[in-house]
Structure 1
Amino acid sequence: MSQDTGPRPSAEPAPPGEGRNAAAPALGRFLARAAALTAALTALGALLGLVRDQTIARLFGAGSETDAFLIAWTVPEFASTLLVEDAMALVLVPAFSLALSRRAAAAEQTGDRTGDRTAEPDPVRTLLAATLPRLAAALAAVAALALVCAPLLVRLLAPGLHDPELAVQCTRLTALSLFTFGITGYFSAALRAHRRFAPPAAVYTAYNLGIIGTVLALHPVLGVRAAAAGVAVGSLLMVLVQLPSFLSALPPRLPALGRRRTTGGPRAARRGRRPAVRTAGLVGLGLLAPVVLFALSRQSQVLVERFLGSTLPAGAISHLNYAQKVAQMPMVLSLMVCTVTFPVVARAMADGRREDARRRVEGDLALAAAIVLLGTAHVIALAPQLIEILFQRGAFTPADTDATASVMRVYALGLLGHTLVGALARPFFSAARPTWYPAAAMALGLLVTVVAGALAAPHWGIHGIAAANALGITGCAWLLLRGLATRVVPVDVAAAVGGLARLAVAAVAATAAGTAVAALLPSPWPAAAGGALAVTVTFAVAALLLRAPEVPRLLSTAGKAVAPLTKRATKRAVERKVRRHGR
């Protein structure tokens, strides 16, 4: 897993004229391969995440034990969002890129391409020495604080939990992950800046394998605590899977902090230190705060659900968790579209091509919405069959299946909102300047979730909590769409809403068809297969009749993907027929 994606384009600036033009196709091919490998490893990590949840459900079911573990897992989930996915990358990818650029410029001026620079401190080494030791110390302190304050954390996160002592023990086991997630994010940012993409993409594969293996090995001894220990083991594997590539990418000799080899005395040493410190500080402070607040507000929806769920009967938090993990699969798939095109939008905006950026954003919104609404139709129509197939075994009972499937249908009503929030936030942050609007919109959406959930939970239980989630995130999506049109990219809001409405109508028709077909088949596997076929065909036909945006493009892409498989199958059939006649 620690292998690189292939030959890396040089970090040095391309020469003017033909050299730069000649390097562009090679860079494009490299990025295409890197994107394909990243997508494959990300999909593998998501699949193993599903296996992880199946393993936990089979061994521990959905009750007070799994509720305690999920409360302990809340803090690592926060750390993963901030340290692995968002904040660390926004600070360190630009910082390492700038350091590499300065190194390449110095090598171009001096003709030194060996990396052995004694007259001036290497910018990458200086940045590494200025940031990694301090980050490691801060992360260790935070992990130790979480371990000591575990009882307080559990009381704050879930005051009505049935077994708080078990949650405290699980929280202490997961505290190590706060350190290892931070180091994982640091390594990932440094490797991406060096154009090494495979190890960062493999971290969630390693993480989920660590959890699954630890749970299977230790659950007879530790019970659900084995899952908490697995979080710690998996987070450590996230570091180790990147370590060989990190050591090979960065300079082999690191200067001792505070003793840098330089010429000109202490003043020159201070001059050599300033670029890295300034890059690591000002780049992060300007752009990081709005992103951190946005990510925290978005992730806080899980906190609200578990806080309110802790006041309900045992198993409520677990049913919500399993429902979310399955229902969010279409959202993850749909947002991959926006993740791939994010650099394209950023480059268009940086070049002042606002019209190109507008067309790209509108197309991405429609395509992501088509994918997630098709997935939503599958989730709602086939919820009982999906949950039974995935989880109903061992300690996970038919009653757990019914509760999880029913709440998953309610939760799925907010999938479009979740997808739009993820897609619409990217153009706001692509402008490379601080913007607080997404954080403010997300805070308002969170407020709606809190108020609606507090009012609905006593009457409708977990279904009220799921409905509040859908209401809050949909309101946030609406605010982001309106704000995007007036502040960043002049998208046509009326046309976008009209397209979304047509896609939603197609999804409703597909849901009805899938539900009807699934009800005719008693066994879950045939019902799921027949219902999925009915949902897909009905959605495609209805969307084409309604002239829903991006659906013809989606069908064309699917056709192109299936065409080679069909050609190979036909060729093999012809070859078999020829061989039979030859005999």
Structure 2
Amino acid sequence: MSDASPASPGPPPTDRHDGARPADTASGGFLARAAAVTAALTVAGAVLGLLRDRTFAHVFGAGTDTDAFLVAWTVPEVAATLLIEDGLALVLVPAFSLAALRRGPGGSPDPVRALVAATLPRLMAALAGVAALLAAAAPALVDLLAPGLPEAGLAVDCTRATATCVVSFGLAGYCSAALRGHARFLAPATIYVAYNTGIITVLLVLGRAWGVRAAAAGVAVGGVLMVAAQAPSLWRGLRRTRRRGARWIAPDPHRPHRSPHAPRIPEQAKRIRHPQRPGKPAGTLRLAMVAPVVVFALGRQSQTLVERHLAAPLPAGAISHLNYAQKVAQMPMVLSLMLCTVTFPVVARALAAGETEQARRRVEGDLLVAGAIVLLGGAVVVGCAPQIVQVLFQRGAFGPADTAATAAVMRVYALGLLAQTMVGVLVRSYFSAARPTWYPAATMLVCLAVTAGAGAWAAPRWGAPGIAAANALGIAAGALLLLAGAGRRPLGLARLRAGGELLKLAGAGAGAAAACWWCAARVTDPAAALATGCLAATAAFLVLARAARVRGFAPLLLLSALLRPLTRPLTRRPRHAR
């Protein structure tokens, strides 16, 4: 993955060919640029995702056929969480980061290649077996997820088509983790652009002829495009590594004499077997490391399964309304977590190097920035929900009644956005350390129990909005438990200080939502009302956050406040290397 360079006491040179830079020497400027690129491509992928949903709503509306497809849509949703966004990434990004630290001179075996050889074939074989099992058990799965679904046969067909994404998403997530572990963020940030482009293309070409089955075929095509978007970058990196050797040379920790100017070998890196010695390959993943991450990811994604199970007996279109509302309402959360995509491998290396204070400051800064972004976005979602749905979806088979139902659910979903973001930020601090922990997994199981219990009580009374409220309540319980546990190892997060700043931001967000709602209601045209609401929410949020003396907010520069933590170095060079 890296080019060769001679040993030197200073930082390694930057590979100008691909713009990559080792995460353990990343500067604030590099991280700001990486975050900006990730943000731009994340926005592009999110816009294409909205265009995908808009196309789907225009062609099919919200009815029994769309409910059937959305039951099958559970497969790519769970696969994306487990294999791309949370599960596999939380395990493999630290593993590749540590393997990169163990690289030696060009003639020595490469621990990164050893890690790939030890894990990729087994992972692909396991995922192929899971995909075949899902296709065979599709009827039972549909009956479990949505008992009594009117179009169960259609849901089975779509489930079998989407089962192929288990393999393609797994390979895409593996490539993404390997590239991010080496501070390469461009190719991984393009995957949802490729994915949504594939789905939209198939919908437009085959939607009229195949019905919702075209959307399922689009998922299969999009998964292949996700791999194709990253494979060339990963292949070039591996070929350069084999041809030129490692760029960052780590001395042998078993050798008694070494230069005092050589880079320090982290304790976690020392525990990995040296690639020239017999034993397991460097960074080989253990079940004890993987199992807590898988349980956490499944517990988090199972909230969506619970929602669809509870919505199946409701009137036709309820599952579709929940899906549209969730996709739009979660946009602020997706944008708020893009910073963590860049900083996660850096936090992992900082903890591996014993730089706990730097990692703690980074996580606290990420929490504040992400909280500000998601609360401002959530204020717009609450204040302009009908206008957003009307602009995005109300055309074709998607009528005014669908707009009203979706907007009502969307406003309720927005109440849990801050908690969703807190979970996304905090869980990376738990899994960045090279030690397994079951606390996040146990937290998500509690969260799931709260969601299921509250949803079972609320669904018969309030329908889809009651299910959305149960989701917000459950994720809030999980966020509070994760924040409480973050005060212990490995970071020792300042919980009261972080919680206090987030409460100030939440108050500013509530005021911004009220201002947005009031201003948007006085404009007739939906697009103009949405623009007016956005401006009102931004101004109100800025003024109220400043009045509350939120840490890091300048008088009139919200953008400056959001970008300031990006400009601070995430890790420091060891004292003896200065």
Whether TM-score is above 0.5 comes out as yes
- Larger displacement relative to structure 2 (192-201 or 363-372): 192-201
Conserved 8 A contact 1:91-1:284: no
Aligned to 2:428: 426
Letter in 1 for 2:462: W
Determine the structure 2 residue equivalent to 1:472. Answer: 474
| Alignment correspondent of 1:17 | 9
User: Structure 1 497/438 Cα, relative in aligned 2: closer, same or farther at 3 Å?
Assistant: same
Shift of 1:147: 1.1
Partner of 2:220 in structure 1? 232
Residue 333 of structure 2: aligned partner: 331
Match of 2:174 among 169, 186, 189: 186
> How far off is 1:340 after superposition?
3.2
Give 1:440 shift: 0.9
Q: 1:240: how far off?
A: 2.2
Secondary structure of the structure 2 residue equivalent to 1:62:
coil
2:81 is aligned with 1:107: no
Q: 2:149 aligns with which of 154, 161, 164?
A: 161
CA contact (8 A) 1:11 1:194 kept: no
Counterparts of 1:321 and 1:522 in 2: how far apart (Å)?
27
The CA distance in 2 between the partners of 1:60 and 1:434, in whole Å, is 45
> In structure 2, what residue type is equivalent to 1:53?
D
Return the match for 1:441 from 422, 443, 452.
443
Q: 1:336 to 1:417 in 2, by over 3 A?
A: same
What code does the residue aligned with 2:292 have? P
In the TM superposition, residue 204 of structure 1 has moved relative to its aligned partner by 1.3
Question: Match for residue 251 of structure 2?
Answer: none
Select between 130-139 and 539-548 the one with higher mean Cα deviation: 130-139
Deviation at 1:363, TM superposition (A): 3.0
The structure in which a higher percent of residues are helix is 1
Secondary structure in 1 matching 2:433: coil
Distance change in 2, residues 1:242/1:454 (3 Å): same
- Counterpart AA for 2:378: T
SS of 1:242's partner is: helix
The 1-side partners of 2:49 and 2:477 are apart by 29
Determine if contact 2:142/2:156 at 8 Å carries over to the other structure.
yes
Which amino acid is 2:3 matched to?
A: S
- Residues 274 and 126 from structure 1, CA distance in 2 versus in 1: closer, same or farther, beyond 3 angstroms? farther
Structure-1 residue corresponding to 2:61: 61
What is the 5 A alignment of 1:479-498? 479-498=481-500
- Shift in alpha-carbon separation, 1:59–1:236, aligned structure 2, 3 A: same
Return the letter of the residue paired with 1:78.
V
- In the superposition, relative to structure 1, how do residues 528 and 399 fare at CA in structure 2: closer, same or farther (>3 Å)? same
Structure-2 separation of matches of 1:491 and 1:272? 35
The 5 Å alignment of 1:562-573 reads none
Question: What does 1:372-383 correspond to in 2, within 5 Å?
Answer: 372-383=374-385
Contact map agreement 1:202 1:241 (CA 8 A) in 2: yes
User: Cα distance, 1:193 vs. partner?
Assistant: 4.8
Return the offset for 1:56. Answer: 0.5
Alpha-carbon deviations, 1:521-570, whole Å to 9, x = none? 12212211222211111121122112233333892535999xxxxxxxxx
Inter-CA distance 366–107: structure 2 relative to 1 (3 Å threshold) = closer
Which structure has the larger Rg?
A: 1
Q: Residue 215 of structure 1 aligns with which residue?
A: 203
What residue is the counterpart of 1:317 in the other structure? 319
Once residues 189 and 480 of structure 1 are traced to their aligned partners in structure 2, the CA distance between those partners, rounded to angstroms, is 24
Shift in Å, 1:51: 0.8
Give runs of aligned pairs for residues 103-182 of structure 1, distance below 5 A: 105-107=104-106, 127-182=115-170
After superposition, the Cα gap between the structure-2 partners of 1:203 and 1:58, relative to the gap in structure 1 and judged at 3 Å, is same
Gaps of 5+ in 2: 16-20, 243-273, 564-578
SS of the counterpart of 2:106? helix
Identity of aligned residues (%): 59
TM normalised by structure 2 equals 0.83
**Which secondary structure does the structure 1 equivalent of 2:422 belong to?**
helix
Q: Is the 8 A contact 2:62 2:398 kept in 1?
A: yes
Alpha-carbon distance change, 276 to 456 in structure 1, aligned in 2, over 3 angstroms: farther
Q: TM-score, normalised by structure 1?
A: 0.82
- Deviation string for 1:336-374 (max 9, x for gaps)? 233333345444444444444444333332222222111
Residues 21 and 222 (structure 1), Cα distance of their counterparts in 2 relative to 1, 3 Å cut: closer
Q: Take 1:520 and 1:549, find their aligned partners in 2: how far apart are those partners? A: 34
What is the CA–CA distance in structure 2 between the aligned matches of 1:559 and 1:478, rounded to whole Å?
A: 25
Aligned to 2:453: 451
2:493 is paired with a residue of what secondary structure? coil
Aligned residues of 2:67 and 2:319 also touching (Cα < 8 A): yes
Contact 2:292 2:441 in 1 (8 A): yes
Task: Pick 1 or 2: higher relative contact order, CA cutoff 8 A, min separation 6.
Answer: 2
CA distance in 1, matches of 2:415, 2:379: 10
Aligned to 1:534: 536
Give the Cα–Cα distance (whole angstroms) in 1 for the partners of residues 512 and 387 of structure 2: 16
